[in-house]
Amino acid sequence: MIEGGEQMRSVRALAAVVICLLAASDVALAAEPKQGGILRVYHRDSPGSASIHEGATYSVNVPFMPIYNNLVVYNQSVAQNSIDSIVPDLAESWAWSKDNKTLTFKLRQGVKWHDGKPFTSADVKCTFDMLMGKSQQKFRQNPRKSWYDQVNDVTTNGDYEASFNLKRPQPALLALLASGYTPVYPCHVSPGDMRTKPVGTGPFKFVEFKANESIKLTRNPDYFKKGLPHLDGIEFTIITNRSTAILGFISGQFDMTFPTEVSIPLLKDVKTQAPKAVCVVEPNNVATNIIINSSSPPFDNLDIRRALALALDRKAFVSIMFEGQADIGGTMQPGPAGLWAMPKEMLETIPGYGPNIEANREEARKLMAKAGYGSDKRLAVKVATRNIPIYRDPAIILIDQMKSIYIDGELEVVDTAQWFPKVARKDYTLGLNLTGNAVDDPDQSFYENYSCGSERNYTNYCNKEIEKLFDQQSEETDTAKRKKLTWDIDKKLQEDVARPIIFHSRTGSCWQPYVKGITIMVNSSYNGFRYEDVWMDK
Amino acid sequence: MFAYIVRRLALMLVTLFGISVIIFVLLRVVPGNIVDILFDAAGFVDPTDKANLEKELGLDQPIVVQYLRWIGGLLHGDLGYSYVSEKPALQEILPRIPITARLAGLALLFSASIGIPLGVISAVNQGTRLDYALRVVSLSGLSLPSFWLGLLILMASVSLFGSMPIFNPNPKTWTEAIAIYCVPAMAVGFRSAALTMRITRSSMLEILRQDYIRTARAKGASERSVNYHHALKNAVLPVITVIGIEAAFLIGGLIVTETVFNIPGIARFLVEALRWRDYPIVQNLVMLIAVVVVVTNFAVDMLYAAIDPRIRYTD
């Protein structure tokens, strides 16, 4: 009996080993990427051009990032962008000088542009000279010129070494260079041609871009990363109607939705009608916020600005719009996806972030009374916002919440074409805005949105003291110290009601189960679309 | 007759000139041009770069100079180039014309081939259940917005067949080719068919009460001959007028239908071009539509004389 039992145990053990081996071989087989296939993705709108450097929306990055390479890039299979996830791309390696004022890249040799010409350090210099406005050739528009404010010049040493010489240390430069917004362009192709017939070194070559119709890319057989890409090509069909696009995905006419574009309610429909689809909901480093024109009455009064911040019930926004799936935080994206967010206990000490909404609003009403407003004398304001649902919906909730502190808001919807000119002119009193961050780094966020005189500082907020702190954190090479400084700055920005952050959104992306190798970045919507590792198991 | 045609043609030219001025001025009255949109969407405005781009696109010139340049180019077959795609406007517009023309033609065909017979049936069966049922159908056709009908068709298609007739420039099968044009044409033509049916019905009812119809019946003509030979032929004039007007209005329906069915025709392209304030595309497309409308109206007027021998255009 004992012998039989032992035999049985041995058989079971053997069976278990066999099952494990079979499972392991199955996993190994499943994990082995297959070559070939065209990835069919729908695109939400027709990008203005194919030139990433001239674009300011990820509608450009998603289809065109696969054409290019950067010097360095965020690891495409790691969801969280950080300094640790930066990997070599056209650069083989990089090194900071001892004084942290020179960043030198050793470049790969033997890399060719899609038109067959060799890639050299001259292309790196050309690209960044153009970005800094130091070149004869000019971009039509250069929205990220300020990223390179601290770069004195870019110098080359032979064909395969390029150095960025800085005015002062700026550790964040590497993070900016790793963004999907920072590809290297060829010297020999004009900016005009890069808008219509882009040439890169990347895994896919440009085939055609028919405005409002489609964008087609084909495999680059000479890609310098051997064995990549796995796909034969990528086809983006431009479908502006969201319902049609989603139905196309559900019916299997597309392998993937446009990344981070499926709203939470729509995601439910997708999961019901295409239960096999793989769907994820991730934060995208887009903050919904209130822009207050502090240079004109009545919001030149700090008490009224503070009252407004105190009136916010952020959880209500999150619950109504995202069924609870969004995050509350300050300027920097909340954790765990965001790297620089202040701890929850620190956040809750900021007026308006405490859990007792009624107490906050009571305090707000006192501030309003101090400013001369009450139930018998209500403040009437127009709440301007862009006429698309992701702007309009929270604006309506905001108007409702403001009623509790004697403010009667009237919704003023503005055509997309007019929205940015209007806020840039500061032609508004109160507005609801969305701010997307290309890189999860305080340098990008603080200088762009809160620096005195910055074009994107829509609220006219200007605090010289805090500006010094911006520089201090920017120069700090010790990450822990920089993080602490960032928290203090973020807290101060919220206390100053510079641009009250309501919530940080989350959005969905779906793909068919046979699509493998997709990684949706969790702290940026701009950096994860190289597609060189994507393959199809069919 | 000849003098009438010449007069009409001259009038058409004056109308087109007026339209060209109105389009041009209106486009420039709308706030924001493409330079504003490009720069402000980017969130960074360098006044020098902005001024350079305005100069490059000729937007720094006085409006009269801009107009004369456009009209001069148009008369020489040079439509300018798209500010967005930076390709010649003609190259952008030409491939889209046959797509929309096919769709519009099919929609009108659907409208006439469904609307006229059903209108006749409804009239000759006045007051019956069939008449009421057809009137309900025609009312629903007038009430359903075409974008909603389009979406319903797409949802039904996905739910029943697991696929949907989304546009494909290279259809693999005949059925696919038919589906990608016919289904959207039906969606956009349904409203027009309903209108045609109602007009046909009311016109037929009026004609059927005429003395000569009674005379035809008294002479022993069959019901079929009375309805289709004697009555319909005389009732069709207002129907042709309506179809002509519908042809002009069709572009509005096509904008939503092309968007819902993702068809890269000129109607959707026009909306996108407007969004970007892509003046050369918008101006030329609106002119093209204006030409189609004016020519259709002219053709309808000519048709009257061909159909009804009582109508004579005097010099």
- B45-59: string of b/e by CB count within 10 Å (b at 16+)? bbeebbeebbeebeb
- Say whether residue B268 is in contact with chain A using an 8 A CB cutoff: yes
* E strand intervals along A327-477: 379-386, 407-414, 430-436
Question: Does residue B277 sit at the A interface (CB-CB below 8 Å)?
Answer: yes
- Cα A425 to the center of its chain, rounded Å: 25
| Poorest-pLDDT segment among A336-340, A491-495, B156-160 | B156-160
* Calpha distance A462→A464 (Å, rounded): 6
**Cis peptide bond prior to A298, omega within 30° of 0:** yes
Taking the Cβ of residue B49 and every Cβ of chain A, the question of whether any pair is shorter than 8 Å is answered with yes
Residue B87 contacts A where some CB pair is shorter than 8 Å: yes
Task: List, in order, residues 6 or more apart from A313 with CB less than 8 Å away.
Answer: A357, A401
Q: Alpha-carbon distance A192 to A176, whole Å?
A: 24
Do residues A328 and A344 make contact, with C-beta atoms less than 8 angstroms apart? no
Environment class of residue B215 by beta-carbon count within 10 Å: exposed (0-12), middle (13-18) or buried (19+)?
A: exposed
Express each pLDDT in B86-132 by its tens digit.
889 999 999 999 999 999 999 999 999 999 999 999 999 999 999 99
User: Which alpha helices (DSSP H) does A253-342 contain, by range?
Assistant: 264-273, 302-311, 314-322
pLDDT per residue over A120-152, tens digit each?
A: 999 999 999 999 999 999 888 788 888 999 999
How many CB atoms neighbour CB B262 within 10 A?
26
Question: For residue B162, what pLDDT band results from cuts at 50, 70 and 90?
Answer: confident
Amino acid at A509: S
Of the residues B28, B29, B44, the best mutation for testing chain A's interface (the one with the most A CB atoms within 10 Å of its CB) is B44
Q: Cis omega before residue A229 (within 30°)?
A: yes
Q: Is B52 on the interface with A (CB under 8 A)?
A: yes
A117: tokens are: 């010409």
Cβ neighbourhood burial of A107 (10 Å; 0-12, 13-18, 19+): buried
pTM: 0.87
Tell if the CB–CB gap between A213 and B264 is shorter than 8 Å: yes
Contact criterion met (CB < 8 Å) for B158 and A247: yes
| Residues 6+ positions from B213 with CB-CB distance below 8 Å | B207, B226, B230, B231
How high is the mean pLDDT of chain B?
88
- Contact residues, chain A, for B46 at CB < 8 Å: 141-142, 145
User: Distance (Å, rounded) from C-alpha A152 to C-alpha A254?
Assistant: 46
What pLDDT score does A527 carry? 97
Nearest to B259 among A240, A421, A455 (CB): A240
Give the residue-averaged pLDDT of B286-306.
88
pLDDT score, position A289: 97
Residue A255 pLDDT: 98
Give the residue from chain A lying closest to B269, CA to CA. Answer: A212
**Better pLDDT: A416 or A110:** A110
* pLDDT tens for each residue of A261-303: 999 989 999 999 999 999 999 999 999 999 999 888 999 999 9
Please report residues of B whose CB lies closer than 8 A to that of A238: 262
User: Is A252 in Cβ contact with B44 (below 8 Å)?
Assistant: no
- What digits encode the pLDDT tens for the residues A144-174? 888 999 999 999 999 999 999 999 999 999 9
Q: Which residues of A touch B53 (CB under 8 A)?
A: 140-141
Residue from B299, B256, B276 nearest B82 by CA: B276
Mean predicted lDDT score pLDDT of chain A: 92
Question: Chain A residue with minimal CA distance to B39?
Answer: A141
- Residues B194, B139: contact at Cβ < 8 Å? yes
Q: With CB atoms and an 8 Å threshold, state whether A251 touches B164.
A: yes
- Alpha-carbon gap, residue A257 to A255, rounded angstroms: 7
Residues on chain A touching B44 (C-beta within 8 angstroms): 56, 141-146, 455-456
B27 in A contact zone (CB under 8 Å):
no
Q: Tell me if B185 sits within 8 A of B261, measured CB to CB.
A: no
Instruction: Report the alpha-carbon distance of residue A90 to residue A122 in Å, rounded.
Output: 13
Report residue A142 CA to chain centroid gap: 18
For the record, the structure tokens of B68 come out as: 């004369």
pLDDT band for position A202 (cuts 50, 70, 90): very high
Could you read off the pLDDT of B168-216 as tens digits, one per residue? 878 888 888 888 899 999 999 999 999 999 999 999 999 999 999 999 9
Predicted confidence at residue A15, as pLDDT, reads 52
What is the rounded CA–CA span in Å between residue A533 and residue A202? 12
Contact (CB, 8 A) for A172 and A187: no
> What integer pLDDT is reported at residue A8 of this predicted model?
47
B153, two tokens: 């068709």
Q: What is the mean pLDDT of residues A342-362?
A: 95
What is the distance between the alpha carbons of residues B299 and B10, in angstroms, rounded to a whole number? 15
d(CA A59, CA A47): 6
Q: Given A54, A244, A416, which is nearest B262 (Cβ)? A: A244
Cα B264 from Cα A249, distance rounded (Å): 19
